[in-house]
Structure 1
Amino acid sequence: MQIRLLTTVTALFLSVLIHAQSYQYTVDLNDTTGDRLKVELICPAVSQSEIRFYMPKILPGTYMNSNFGKYVQDFQAFDKNGTKLAVSKKDDNSWSIKQADRLHRITYSVDDTWDATIDNPVYEMVGTNFEGGKNFVINTCGVFGYLDGMKKVPFELNFTKPAGFYAATGLKPSATTNTSDKFLCGNVDELYDSPIMYSLPDTATLKVGGADIMIAVYSPHKAATAKFIATNFEKLMKGSAAYLKGKLPVDKYAFIFYFNGEQKAFKTSGAWEHSYSSFYALQEQDQQQAIGSWIDIAAHEFFHIVTPLTISSKEVKEFNFNEPILSKHLWLYEGSTEYYANHMQVWAGIVSPEEFISALETKIKYSRGYFKDDLSLAELGKESAGKWHEQYGNIYMKGALVSAALDLYLMKLSGGQYALRDLKHDLGILYGKDKYFLDDELYDAIAKLTFPEVKDFLVKYVDGSNPTPYEEFFSIAGIDYLRKKTIQAISFGRIDIKEQKGKIVITDVSNMNQFGQKMGYQKDDELISINGEAVTKINMDLVIRKFNATAKEGDDLTVVVSRKVNGKKNTQVTLSQKVFKADRVIEHVLEINPNPTAEQAAIRKIWWGQGFCK
């Protein structure tokens, strides 16, 4: 009897102790006014006299300051007796709490980011949406904060929800009813790694590679459905499982799709990767037309389960949510993942080799046409949220291309026996989800797993500012890279056109082809209309692309320009000519060599795969 009583008392004591060492959040989704939620936190025990409460400033995978603290209002702290404690806001994302050793409860309200009028850009895919009775996007970083020095303390999330609403998430609820859910997270990293979307359920599930793959959809006008997406994702997931050597590295994964069909504040689209889910904030559109792009985006986000969610440096594994300290290996996290998303599809037979090579060609055109090709990928990674923020997009171009070159180089060095996916598999074993590498030690680890020449490659083309010699590396598989190629094609005339003070002006005619000469373009001509369609800075590119895509030989092209004639400015002149093919120079071309060597053909066969899903 005494032993049983002691055991009961001990269990009760442990329960209280565990209870005291966790964050216990409560949110009532039925109580929302003005797209705002009320948040209550029962705090873990604090020993110091003063402590900071933080909302995150920056998030892994976003490379932009989000400043979620700007959306928090009415922040208050209380002791167990309900007495208010002194609170002062220290900056956009933190509050200092006095007498913190008495701290028991914190309350505040939080606006959703998509509708808030705050001048603070936040990517849609990391934002929040609180529409009473319709939909709640709970990117947890925008709702829940943490106490300084207590990031590794567990979190308990308690939601009261509208009857019948479903929580789409990679988390597994510890308790659930028709009107409530409870979720547990081991620390703040797991918390921010776990988006939740509440709405009436539209879900579908696939069983692939030992994992349950859930697709959840919120589409207010029913333009997209979970069933349709799941049907089209089945080949993608089977190909991904095969590409990852037959088994997915998770037992549950959630694709969470929010399709905006109502909010004016929703300006862009995007997706955010997580360990057991990915969240998609997309414009609502016809699913038949958009499914191809959704597959491309989903493939990229899903492969983040390898990098950086399994293989990453200390800067990622121990992410600082309130000070941007980034890794130089962004090329690995985003660049190689983007390459994986493209390469898996040709390897699995989802796209043709021609489509795959075309995708790589497009990346070269954008990388060398719009970004600094001599900017070190390592420097871009370290400064992607700062000095080189405007160059960030090149990580998906040059980062993917360097990964393709590395893949081919590994195959050449190994005689076709070892490729990039083998390297990432081995790095996953070496480090895994719970172990990090140091930025400056990764290349030595890769050299030990592969060849010394691979370290030289990385030092030269990732750390260095040397443009990657694509002609050298793509030729390994019999793919020819041409910096320039002249073809006979329909074009607008090969003239340079720019917007100047709201006017569309021909700024250079030095490279004008035969068709442009026949048209009679002159430098400083202002374009007024093309085939009767007024030209503006908004539609300029679209109108000319439309001409290049649809015009046929023998069609009429009529262009009205404004120019100086006989000393009289702003004279409108009509230029007209039958369309014909003329010299057109295209840059950065990848061509499949129809006569590869035996060695090139062998590498090409391995690189393109056998069409696993055909």
Structure 2
Amino acid sequence: MKQRLAGPGAVLALLLLASSALAAPGQRSEPQPEPLPPPLAAPRDEAFPGTLKLQVDATDLEHRIFRVKQSIPIVGPGPVTLLYPRWLPGKHAPSAQVEHFTGLVITADGRKLAWQRDPVEIAAFHVDPPAGARSLEVEFQFVSANTTGQGRMVMTPAMMNVQWNSMALYPAGWFTRRIPIEASIRLPAGWSYGVALDTASNRDGLVTFKPVSFETLVDSPMFAGRWYKRVDLDPGGRSPVILNLVADEPASLEMTDEQLKIHRNLIVQADRLYGARHYERYEFLLALTDEMGGIGLEHHRSSENAVSPSYFTGWDKSAPERDLLPHEYTHSWNGKYRRPADLWTPTFNTPMRDSLLWVYEGQTQYWGNVLAARSGLVSRQDALDALAITAAVYQNRIGRTWRSVADTTNDPIIAQRRPLPWGSWQRSEDYYSEGQLVWLDVDTLLREKSGGKVSLDDFARSFFGLNDGDWGVLTYRFDDVVAALNRLVPMDWSGFLRARIEDAGTPPPLDGLARGGWRLVYTDKATAYFTAEEADRKITDLTYSLGLVISRDGDLANVLWDGPAFRAGLATGNRLVAVNGRTWSADVLKTAVTEAKTTGRVELLVRSEDRFRTVSVPWTGGLRYPRLERIPGAPDRLGDIFAPRP
């Protein structure tokens, strides 16, 4: 049949018909959501029937690439989901570097299989093995950072930090504590290592470990290096405690007899505090480096730590670094053995909830500083001066007016430790150090109410020091903390803690200082500890005068919200060029701040990208640095807290 063209009338009718199908004027198209994919298999607390095999080749130092091979048993017919660990204990957040996981190839019975990333859970990979296949053979690479802008550096020509969570997949559907795995790693020739795993064999640089659970493997990272030293911190003790040192250069490994004694004192003082050990061995992993990325990360039977190369050789200036080891060691008790119930998860892809980090990290921050003083890692004066800095931060932290400590426990997930433009207003992970001040308040209150018979030491022993020899996990909730305090000194501990943790706008938590016999003051001379911390952080800290922190390059690293510099129009990211008409330096700037007591202002030439401007900062207060001074006639409870336990 021959088609005929429509006439003008027919065309008009068709247009009218089409327009009637469109939405009426004023209406909007409103889509409906696409259904989500099926959820991942729920983990069950049953033994996985088989053992995963893991082989890591860590010899490509030039490219900083870890090459991984895995064999994963197939359990039953049907699709398999493999998980890359994402929610990492100690980081309290989904902080795995999934972007560095690359080159994934999966085969079975010699046949390459197609895989698909889950569209919701980006660290899950679905694959459908052929019928009858007994295992999945997996290959991929972890391409670690080559520059600091790509993430933390974990491999250098002299050392590496092997974090097994970056090197392994595991099958969905089981608690990770019920999945066995046998791991091996090939290291560069001549390298030595420290790790809280038992070595099955070590031949020609290929190290094979005895099988453990996947949970234990991830909790047992390795430091390896060209220059390595192993130090026994508890000779003749009931369980080995080893300090594993790796360094950029061999000279950094040298430690004096006195330094060795002090580090051994840490183990003694921790035993006297907690009264139990929740490990059959403990491995401190300590990197003395300017090249590998900084870290302080707790594990049950080890910890990852990085300090400057001059930690031992420049001992007189390294005090600000010396609370790191006692902090991470304390986590073996607080955080790893005793763990908030909502922070423990059955897999590394189950979301964590961080509500009790003010106990997990806040009290660890407290004990880390106390044990540093008791062991001699820092002097009593340094301990006081460090506490003064913490107290000054929270006396001046204006963000406390709107945001509670409790809300900052969400920051590992919210900010993931990215730089903030206005840290003093936004707040960050303040549950650490404001939590420390709250626990000082608790400690001094226990001492006051009991006439010196009870202290937070008793809480530590009764709450964290339970069940000697148990290195499982014993969870707790807020009410358990309150009950433990009430067993020591009955009072409304729930109300006390909630007011300080959950309320915003409360006074700075400095009651513990006053009850401890000290008060916070400001003088025009920095303490030795303050100066050492400036040098360690490579900054000039004028927070308590102009409201500025300046990097060595002149960048404004921090500007105190609503401080003098803020009100004058300065912001983080500006670069300081000149002060009162002279090229900027730390000394020139400090001189100008002192002279402002008479001139009334400091003139700063700053640059922001390609724009220069002169900013006049009104100020007459001179230099101001925090320190503690004794309250006449008050008992020195801080002195008692910092004193070694016999």
Tell me the TM-score range normalised by the shorter chain.
Answer: 0.7 to 0.9
* Residues 400-457 of structure 1 deviation map (CA, whole Å, 9 limit, x = unaligned): 1111111112222332222223212211255864343353433443245332333332
Shift of 1:194: 0.8
Three-state SS of the structure 2 residue aligned to 1:372 is helix
Secondary structure of 2:325's aligned partner: helix
- 2:520–2:628: 8 Å Cα contact kept in structure 1? yes
Partner of 1:278: 303
- My pick for the range that moved more, 427-436 or 202-211, is 427-436
| 1:335–1:229 Cα change, 3 Å | farther
CA distance in 1, matches of 2:455, 2:547: 43
Aligned position for 1:26: 55
Q: Aligned AA for 1:155? A: I
In the alignment, what sits opposite 1:180?
206
Alpha-carbon spacing, 1:561–1:364, altered in 2? closer, same or farther (3 Å): closer
SS of residue matched to 1:24: strand
In 1, the alpha carbon distance for the partners of 2:269 and 2:357 equals 25
The answer to whether the Cα contact below 8 Å between 2:49 and 2:75 also exists between their aligned partners in 1 is: no
Q: Is the 8 A contact 1:348 1:611 kept in 2?
A: no
Q: Is the 8 A contact 1:324 1:385 kept in 2?
A: no
C-alpha distance in structure 1 between counterparts of 2:613 and 2:409, whole Å = 51
Matched, 1:409 2:448: no
TM-superposition CA deviations, 1:103-131 (whole Å, max 9, x none): 513322223422279x86x4x3xx63275
**Which residue pairs with 1:516 in the alignment?**
none
**Out of 218, 225, 246, which is 2:246 matched to?**
218
Distance 2:156 2:549 in 1: 42
The letter of the residue matching 2:391 is I
Shift in alpha-carbon separation, 1:414–1:556, aligned structure 2, 3 A: closer
Match of residue 104 from structure 1: 135
The equivalent residue for 1:567 is none
What amino acid sits opposite 2:480 in the alignment? L
Counterpart amino acid of residue 360 in structure 2: Y
Question: 2-side partners of 1:284 and 1:467: how far apart?
Answer: 41
- The root-mean-square deviation of aligned C-alpha atoms, in Å, is 4.5
Give 1:335's match in structure 2, choosing from 354, 358, 362. Answer: 362
Bigger CA drift: 135-144 or 103-112? 103-112
Looking at structure 2, the residues matched to 160 and 115 of structure 1 have their Cα atoms a distance apart, in angstroms, of 20
Secondary structure at 2:249 match in 1? coil
Q: Does 1:544 align with 2:605?
A: no
| Residue of structure 2 in register with 1:193 after alignment | 219
Shift of 1:210: 3.7
Q: CA deviation at 1:340?
A: 0.9
| Inter-partner Cα distance in structure 1 for 2:461 and 2:82 | 39
- 1:326 counterpart (326, 346, 353): 353
Per-residue CA deviation, residues 367-422 of structure 1 (Å, 9 max, x unaligned), is 34346225332332245312796633322320111111111122223322222232
Q: Is 2:371 the partner of 1:344?
A: yes
Instruction: Answer with 344-353 or 67-76: which moved more.
Output: 344-353
Shift of 1:362: 0.6
- Alignment partner of 1:529 is 2:585: no
- Paired position in structure 1 for 2:4: none
Q: Find the aligned partners of 1:372 and 1:492 in 2 and give their Cα distance.
A: 15
What's the TM-score once normalised by structure 1's chain length?
0.75
Cα deviations across residues 556-601 of structure 1 (Å, max 9, x unaligned)? 99977789xxxxxx999999xxxxx9755959764212322xxx34
Letter in 2 for 1:607: I
- What is residue 400 of structure 1 aligned with on the other side? 436
Structure 1 residue 86: Cα displacement: 2.8
SS in 2 for 1:43: strand
Alignment of 1:470-549 (within 5 A): 470-481=509-520, 529-530=578-579, 533-535=582-584, 544-545=589-590
Q: Which residue of 1 aligns with 2:125?
A: 95
396-405 vs 196-205, greater mean Cα deviation: 196-205
Matched, 1:449 2:487: yes
Instruction: Tell me the percent identity.
Output: 16
Letter in 2 for 1:57: R
* Aligned residue in 2 for 1:159: 185
Moved more, 452-461 or 189-198: 452-461
Distance 1:72 1:572 in 2: 47
**Equivalent residues in 2 for 1:208-607 (5 A)?**
208=234, 210-222=238-250, 224-225=252-253, 227-228=254-255, 232-245=259-272, 249=277, 250-261=279-290, 269-282=294-307, 284-285=309-310, 287-289=312-314, 291-318=318-345, 320-370=347-397, 372-374=399-401, 375-386=403-414, 391-429=427-465, 433-450=471-488, 451-465=490-504, 467=506, 470-481=509-520, 529-530=578-579, 533-535=582-584, 544-545=589-590, 584=622, 590-596=628-634, 600-601=635-636, 603-604=637-638, 606-607=640-641
Name the SS of the counterpart of 2:400 in structure 1. coil
Structure 2 stretches of 5 or more lacking a match?
Answer: 1-46, 421-426, 527-541, 607-611
Contact 2:391–2:510 (Cα < 8 Å) also in 1 = no
Q: How many residues align?
A: 544
Residues 337 and 72 of structure 1, relative CA distance in 2, 3 Å threshold: same
Equivalents in 2 of 1:469, 1:574: separation in Å? Answer: 30
CA displacement, residues 236-261 of structure 1 (integer Å, 9 cap, x when unaligned): 33144224317672443222233445
- Output the CA distance in 1 between the equivalents of 2:219 and 2:83: 17
Q: 1:114 to 1:587 in 2, by over 3 A?
A: same
**Partners of 2:49 and 2:404 in 1: CA distance:** 48
Out of 17, 42, 50, the position equivalent to 2:71 is 42
Question: For the structure 1 residues 587 and 495, does the alpha-carbon distance in structure 2 shift closer, same or farther, using more than 3 Å as the test?
Answer: closer
CA distance in 2, matches of 1:207, 1:488: 41
Distance in 1, matches of 2:63 and 2:319, equals: 36
User: 1:481·1:589 contact (CA, 8 Å) conserved in 2?
Assistant: yes
Which stretch has the larger CA shift, 417-426 or 330-339? 417-426
Change (3 A) 1:67 1:590: same
8 Å contact kept, 1:489–1:584 = no
Whether the aligned pair in 2 keeps the contact of 1:68 and 1:93 (CA below 8 Å) is: no
- Superposition map of 1:132-151 within 5 A: 134-150=158-174, 151=176
User: Does the aligned pair in 2 maintain the 1:74–1:109 contact within 8 Å?
Assistant: yes
Native 8 Å contact 2:65 2:144 kept in 1: no
Question: Cα offset for 1:135?
Answer: 3.6
Query: Following the alignment from structure 1 to structure 2, what is the Cα–Cα distance between the partners of residues 54 and 428?
Result: 32
**CA shift for structure 1 position 332:** 1.4
Conserved? CA contact 2:445–2:515, under 8 Å: yes
How far is 1:60 from its partner? Answer: 1.6
Q: What's the secondary structure of 2:324's corresponding residue?
A: helix
Please, what TM-score do these two structures have when normalized by structure 2?
Answer: 0.71
Q: Residues 334 and 395 of structure 1 are in contact (CA less than 8 Å); yes or no, is this contact kept in structure 2?
A: yes
Query: For residues 166 and 543 of structure 2, what CA distance do their matches in structure 1 show?
Result: 48
Q: State the SS of the aligned residue for 1:395.
A: coil
Contact 2:307 2:321 in 1 (8 A): no
Separation in structure 2 between the aligned mates of residue 39 and residue 561 of structure 1, nearest angstrom: 54
Unaligned runs of 5+ in 1: 1-17, 513-521, 564-569, 576-580
C-alpha distance in 2 between matches for 1:584 and 1:169 = 51
1:53 aligns with 2:82: yes
Are residues 239 and 494 of structure 1, via their aligned partners in 2, closer, same or farther at CA, if it must alter by over 3 Å?
Answer: closer
* Change over 3 Å in CA distance of 1:284–1:347 after alignment to 2: closer
Q: Distance in 1 between matches of 2:544 and 2:217?
A: 56
